[in-house]
Structure 1
C-alpha cells in the first residue's frame, strides 16, 4: 500500500468543517458579541475542570519521571536518537510556542500591572511584583505538562507498540478498543484537526498585528488590512516551503536558526538594558512563583469573582489543550530513541526554562520602563493597544533600527516553525499509513500550509480572527476527556509491557 495515500474519511470531512466554518464566519461578521458570550460561558463554567486536570497531569508526570517507568525507551533498547539533543529540543520548543511567546512576554506583564490577581490594587509596586510571576506560570511547568501527556502516549504507541498509523485516535485503543477504527475514531481525529486550526488562528490573531505594527514603524507605512495580508502571505511561503522540505531539510534547520537568532536578541537586550534589575526581578518573581504555585494552580476566585483566572489561566490552558495533541504527534515523530524521562524533562523543564528566559528579559525590560517612569507602558496599552507597547519598547533600545529588523526576522521564523509543524501534522493525520517513518506526501504537506494561510487571511479580511479563539476553547473541552483517555491507555500499555 502507498504510505502517502490520503484517508478520505478524515481528509474531506475535516476540510469541509474547517473551510465551511471559516466561510460561515465570514458571512456572519456581526456575531462577535455572541462569540464573546460563549467564550465567557465556557471559561467560567468549566474553570474547575481545566485547573484540576492540568494540576493532576503535572503531579502524574512528576511521579513518572521519578519512578522506574522513566527508564522506558521509545524504540529498541540500543536505539539511538534520530536527532541531536540540541536540534531535538529546538524543534520541541519552536513547534510549541511560536512568536506568540515574544508577543506575550512583552505585553502580558503590563496587563498584570493594571489588572493584578488576588484583589491587589492596580498600578502599584505590589501589582508589579506579580507581573513576571504570572507570565512564567502561564508559560511554565503546568502549561508544558499539557503538551507532554499526548506526547508520551502517542510516542509510546508509535515506537513501542509499533502502531503503523500516526493519528490521535489510535492512542485511545487501550480504552476504546477497536471502536477507534470506526466512526468514533474519525470524530476524534476531526476534532483534533479543527482544534489545531483554531489554535493556529489564535496565535496568528496576535502575531500578525504585532509584525504589522513594527513594519509600519520601520518604514512609516500606515496600518491596513493589505499589509497584514502580505505578512500572512510571507509566512505561508516560509512555513509552506519548510513543511514541503520535511523534518530533516526544513523544520530542523529552521528551528536551529530560530533558536540561535532568538538567543542573540535576548543577550543584546539583557546587556544594553537594565541588567541588574532584570536578573534581580527574575529571582524575586521565581520566589513568588514557588511560594504561591499551588494557589495559582487552583485559583478560581469564586468569592471575589474578579474573572482574572477565567480570562487568563483558564483561557491559556484551553489554548494549550487545543495545540497539545498536535504537539504530541509531532514530538512522537522526532523522539525515537529517547526515554520517558528524557521526554518529560525536555518538555516540562527545558520548555518552561526557555519561556522563563523570554519573560525574564522582555518582560523585565517592560516592567522596568513602566515602574521607573521611563515610558508609561500601562497608559500606552490602555490608550493605543498592546502593539504600540511593543513598538515603543523596541524603539527605546539602542540601535533600534537594527533591532527592529532582527525582531521581525526572529518573529517570522519563530511562527513559521510552529506553522510548518502544524501543516506537517495535519497531513500526517490525514495519511492512511506512516509506517517506516515515511513522511506524508509533499503536496499534502504544502496543501495544509496553504489551508492555514487561507483561513488566516479570510478571517483577517472580515476582522474576525478573534473568532478562532472560540474554536480553541470549544475544542479544548472534548480534548480534556481525550487527554484522560491517553493517560489511562498509556498506563494500561506500560503495565502490560513492563509489569507493575
Structure 2
C-alpha cells in the first residue's frame, strides 16, 4: 500500500509539472507564502528543540544504551562510518553553497549593511549556522529512533515503527501506513532538491571549463546520464557501490579542501575559522530563534526556513541510512558522532572556500560577489579559477559533484526502497530502480517549473507535516527509553538483592 500510494502521488505531481510547469510554479508560490507566513516560527522552534533533545539524550542516563544487543559491535570502522554520514547528509549542498552562500550573505546580510567587514563575519557565521549542529540534530533524532527500535527492540525499519510506544499495534493500520507514505513523499522531494542542486552545479562546472551551455535542456541531459550511473550503482548493493563511492567522495573532498587551504590565504583561513566558531557558539541561541515580524524582512524565509525545511524533508532518507550503518553504537556515541564530526567538516569547508572567496573579494578585488549575484552555480569555479591549476581543480570539483550526486541518489533509492517495502534491509532491485526514475523525474519537473526557487519551494512545503511527525517521534523515543531505564533499574535492584543474599548466606556459613 505504501509503495503504490506514494508512487501514485509522485507520478501525478510529475505529470502536473510536465503538462503545466507554469501552473505548478504558481500553485507552489501560493502554498509557500501561506506556510512561511503562518508556520515559519514552527520550523525554527522545531530545529532548535531537536538539537536540545539530541544533546540531552547523549549526556543522560540513556547515553550508554547500545543500538542493538548489548554484545553488538559496530559494523563499519569510524572512518567509513563518517564518510557515509557525510556523503549521504549534505555532500552536494556543501559544494553548491560553499562559496555561493557566504558571498551572497556578504552582499545582502541578514542585518546591517552589505560589503563590509562586519557583513563578512556575519556571512560565515550564518553559513556555519545553516550547515552545523542543527541539521545534524534533525538527522540524529530520526536516525537514533530508527536504529533503536529496529536493532534494540526488533521492530521493522519503518518510520511508523518508531511510534509503537504511542500507537501500539495501530502502527500496522491506516495511521502507520499514513506516516510511512508521508515519510516517502517528503524524502522523495528532499532528495529531488539535492539532485536538482547537483545538476545546476554540474552544469555550472561544465559551462565554466568547457563552455557547455548553462540551460535547462543541458541539465535534463545531465540528469538522464547520471541517473543511469547511480541506478547501476544501486544495483550493486550497500557494501559495494555505496561504500566504495562514499570513501571516494571523502578522499576527493579532502583533496580539494587541502589544495584550496594550501594554495589559498592559509593564515587568513585559520584566523577566520577561529573567530567564526567563537561567533557561532556565542550567538547560536539568538540565531536559532530569530524572526523579523517588525521589519517584514524575507531573508529568514529565503535562507534559514528553506534550510530547516530542506533538512527535515531530507531527514527520513539520511536518518534511515545512518541508522542502517550504525548498528552496535551507543546512544552517546551515535549522537556525538553524528552531531560533531560532520559539523566540523562543514565549518572547515565553508571557511576554506567561502573565506578564500571573501579574501579575494575584499583584499584582491577579484569581484567574485558580482559573479555570484549573476549566477550562483559559477561561484565555486570562479573562486577555484583564481588558484594555480584552477582548471584542474574545477575539473576535480565537477567530478566530486558527480560522485556526490551518484552517492546521494544511490543511497536514496536504497532508503526509499526500504520505506516502501515494509522495512526490508535489502529492497529488491526493481523497487530501487523505480524510485531512481521517479526522484530524477521530480528534479526535472522542478527545474522546468522554476529552477532553484522551485527546488527550495518544494522542500518547504513537503517538510511541514513531517516536522510534526518528528516531534511525536521524539516523544515516543523518550517514552521507550524511560521504560527501558526503569526495567534496567529493577533488574539491577534484583541483582543486588540476590548478591546481598549470597553474601549473607556466605557469612552465616562461616
For Structure 1 versus Structure 2, the TM-score category normalised by the shorter chain is: over 0.9
Is the 8 Å Cα contact of residues 149 and 162 (structure 2) preserved in structure 1?
yes
C-alpha distance in 2 between matches for 1:58 and 1:453: 31
Moved more, 135-144 or 56-65: 56-65
Match of 2:71 in 1: 78
C-alpha distance in 2 between matches for 1:310 and 1:391: 27
Moved more, 455-464 or 366-375: 455-464
Distance 1:85 1:468, change over 3 A: same
The one of 12, 15, 22 aligned to 1:30? 22
For residues 458-486 of structure 1, the C-alpha deviation after alignment (integer angstroms, 9 at most, x for no partner) is 44455556434333212211111111111
* TM-score of the pair, normalised by structure 2: 0.91
Distance 1:388 1:396, change over 3 A: same
Match of 2:408 in 1: 418
C-alpha distance in 2 between matches for 1:56 and 1:428: 28
Match of 1:100 in 2: 93
Is the 8 Å Cα contact of residues 142 and 316 (structure 2) preserved in structure 1?
yes
1:319-338 to 2 correspondence within 5 Å?
Answer: 319-338=310-329
Match of 2:380 in 1: 390
C-alpha distance in 2 between matches for 1:467 and 1:12: 25
Is the 8 Å Cα contact of residues 413 and 436 (structure 2) preserved in structure 1?
yes
Match of 1:221 in 2: 212
For residues 8-36 of structure 1, the C-alpha deviation after alignment (integer angstroms, 9 at most, x for no partner) is x1111111101111111222222334423
For residues 119-138 of structure 1, the C-alpha deviation after alignment (integer angstroms, 9 at most, x for no partner) is x1122121111111100100
Give 5+ residue unaligned stretches, structure 1. Answer: 1-8
Give 5+ residue unaligned stretches, structure 2. Answer: 490-510
Match of 1:177 in 2: 168
C-alpha distance in 2 between matches for 1:72 and 1:236: 40
Is the 8 Å Cα contact of residues 51 and 134 (structure 2) preserved in structure 1?
yes
Higher gyration radius (CA): 2
1:314 paired with 2:301, answer no
C-alpha distance in 1 between matches for 2:199 and 2:386: 22
Q: Secondary structure at 2:72's aligned position in 1?
A: coil
Match of 1:153 in 2: 145
Is the 8 Å Cα contact of residues 193 and 443 (structure 2) preserved in structure 1?
no
* TM-score of the pair, normalised by structure 1: 0.93
How far 1:280 sits from its partner (Å)? 0.9
C-alpha distance in 2 between matches for 1:289 and 1:463: 33
Match of 1:445 in 2: 432
Is the 8 Å Cα contact of residues 189 and 439 (structure 2) preserved in structure 1?
no
Match of 2:264 in 1: 273
C-alpha distance in 2 between matches for 1:30 and 1:168: 34
Match of 1:255 in 2: 246
Is the 8 Å Cα contact of residues 21 and 448 (structure 2) preserved in structure 1?
no
RMSD (CA atoms): 1.7
Is the 8 Å Cα contact of residues 202 and 466 (structure 1) preserved in structure 2?
no
